[in-house]
Amino acid sequence: MKTINANELSPLQLQNYLQYAIAPRPIALVSTVDSHGNVNLSPFSFFNLFSVNPPLCVFSPSRRVRDNTTKHTLDNLREVPQCVIQVVTPDMLHQTSLSSCEYDKAQNEFVKAGFTALPSELVKPPRVAESPVQLECMVTQIIETGDGPGAGNLVLAEIKKIHVSEAVLSSEGNGIDQTKIQLAARLGGDWYCEIRPENLFKVPKPNVALGIGVDKLPEFIIQSDYLSKNDLARLANIEVIPDADIIEKLKVEYQSLIAGFSNADLDSGVEARFWAEVQKLIRKDEINKTWALLLSCQECLTVSKI
């Protein structure tokens, strides 16, 4: 691997590594006003949700690398510490990019980018009607992380009101449906990506229980040449290895699958087919079935290895 001392790279060179690697980043489309009421709208991908109690977002209008000047968003927040943060969907991306142009301070980027302004309920900056989630925020702190070109200004924005489009709400009425809200995200340079339902998957994670861990898997599984470390982690995300009683029940449930392997003389061809099946089941997230197959055929495997 190439190893780089961060302090030997210029801010521009650092961007070429860090913005490509720390990606995708969510995009905040932030509206602010100055003390005269001039409206500003700009996107920021140095942005994230920071906590829920209190509900805080952070983003960073950095000092310009080119000439070390500060951005209108930051100047406005110092005058009026309020903003609206809106999420960005793929169908708003070109407008969002256009709003990042360095227009004069008096120029309203809602107009330039063709966004529709909606009055906010609590804060002075207006909302972007096209965004499915608009967060009215009070800015509680701005932390300067330096004073040179590219230095960050960490804005802590406390969310006071959440406006959500009905179209992205779950039918159970308990918040947003992840498959309905399609978001755009920023990567390095001019690269972007979008979240579509077909790209989504779940990783089951027991919240209260502890997975046994890869180190506690039976040795014959750890030693398998056919499973990746990631496959092992999926198997190890169970609280206990199924005991004999459970295995007996699983054997009945999956008997036809197991019969294909357990009585066989596991020569190398059959063994490869066995592990391919295990891998397939793991990747289909059929973990119980995988354990049934693994533990039912464990002896045959051991014998065939000898």
Parallel/antiparallel/unpaired status of strands 117-118 and 39-44 = unpaired
Question: Measured from the CB atom, is 102 or 299 closer to ligand FMN?
Answer: 102
**46 versus 254: smaller Cβ distance to ligand FMN:** 46
Contacts with ligand FMN, residue ranges (CB under 6 A): 27, 40, 42-46, 60-62, 71-73, 97, 100, 102, 186
Minimum CB separation of residue 198 from ligand FMN in Å reads 23
In the complex, the smallest distance separating the C-beta of residue 51 from ligand FMN, rounded to whole angstroms, is: 19
**Residue among 134 and 262 whose Cβ is closer to ligand FMN:** 134
Which residue lies nearer to ligand FMN by CB, 76 or 134? 76
Smallest gap from Cβ 203 to ligand FMN, in A, equals 27
**CA 122, CA 102: separation in Å to the nearest integer?**
28
Q: How far is the CB of 140 from ligand FMN (least distance, A)?
A: 19
Distances (CA, A) of 279 to 135, 175, 285, 289: 43, 35, 10, 11
Please identify, using beta-carbon distances, which residue of 60 and 120 lies nearer to ligand FMN: 60
Shortest reach from residue 11's CB to ligand FMN, in Å: 12
Structure tokens of 134? 């608009």
Minimum gap (Å) between residue 15 Cβ and ligand FMN: 11
* Residue among 150 and 211 whose Cβ is closer to ligand FMN: 150
